[in-house]
Structure 1
Amino acid sequence: MSTADNVWGHRPESGHTAGTSLVGYKVDATDGHIGKVDKHNDDVDASYLVVDTGVWIFGKHVLLPAGTISRIDTENKVVHVSRTKEEIKNSPEFDKDKHLDDHEHRTRIGDYYGNTAPGTPGSPGTGPAGTL
């Protein structure tokens, strides 16, 4: 599977630079602000953001695979993701104290977000898109 097909890898066009911490960056969905980066893992083919959604969804955290990042604005410290607020809100429940090292949960998240580019078959709402 190439990085372009792997939802856990950074997309080349996102502007991500290895070693750059995104912790504290604001996170914007395609239709508005959703929170800020609480944790950022940059492991190859296992990269993700943990986003603190604050009051938007009652103080929950969400896990977003790096492949959902469409663009990183380092000047304004904003991460833009290629999903809507509704798609993110409907993602599998995430508990950062229980699920970070849970392989089965990560598989569910990968299936939900799909191992394909947004807007193609297998994107959110169209069912599982494959396995990790």
Structure 2
Amino acid sequence: MVDVPWSFGSPCGELAGIDLAGWRVEAVEGHIGEVDDYSDKAGNAFPVVNAGGWIFGKLLIPAGAVTQIDPDGRSLHLILSRGQVADAPAFPPDQHRADRQYREDVVEYYWKAGPC
């Protein structure tokens, strides 16, 4: 993962003009859901993943956990395992953009759980 959790790393390439909504999201072991919402703003970037068919909910994942963006395959690849994603903090859609403590908890979880 990158040192700046809320920014896409350089391997992801340029995102300007790309709409990620609906793209597949792949953990290390395979598919976990689709991008429901996202931000590509520098320092505040993240996908919100709808993992409804797998863990029945949505997840906010810091952009620093994205290792690759594949425009041809319309997919995002994460450095995270399915288990790490399944055990992630619950996503409160009414809080995620403004709740500083929630965002800090998300970063702490993924950076603690991830292979940094």
Q: Tell me if both proteins adopt one fold, taking TM over 0.5 as the criterion.
A: yes
Change in 2 beyond 3 A, CA 1:103/1:19: farther
- Please, which runs of 5 or more residues in structure 1 have no aligned partner? 121-132
| Counterpart contact for 1:51–1:63, Cα < 8 Å | yes
The corresponding residue for 1:9 is 7
**Greater share of residues in strand:** 2
AA of the residue aligned to 2:89: P
- Please give the residue correspondences for 1:56-67 in structure 2 after superposition, counting only pairs within 5 Å: 56-58=54-56, 60-67=57-64
Larger radius of gyration: 1
Of residues 77, 99, 115, the one that matches 1:80 is 77
Deviation (angstroms), 1:16: 4.0
Q: 1:100 aligns to what SS in structure 2? A: coil
SS, match of residue 42 in structure 1 = strand
* 1:6-85 equivalent positions in 2, closer than 5 A: 6-58=4-56, 60-85=57-82
Q: Which amino acid aligns with 2:13?
A: G
Answer 1 or 2: higher relative contact order, Cα 8 Å, separation at least 6: 2
**Matched positions, count:** 114
1:49/1:65 contact within 8 Å kept? yes
What residue identity is the alignment partner of 1:119?
Answer: P
Displaced runs of 4 or more, over 6 A: none
> Shift of residue 55 of structure 1?
1.7
* Cα offset, 1:21, TM superposition: 1.9
Matching residue's letter, 1:84: S
Write the distance in 2 (CA, Å) between the matches of 1:41 and 1:108: 18
SS at match of 1:5: coil
1:112 aligns with 2:112: no
Amino acid aligned to 2:25: V
d(CA) in 2 for partners of 1:74 and 1:46?
A: 21
1:92 to 71, 84, 89: 89
Q: Scaled by the length of structure 2, what TM-score is found?
A: 0.90
Take 1:64 and 1:32, find their aligned partners in 2: how far apart are those partners?
16
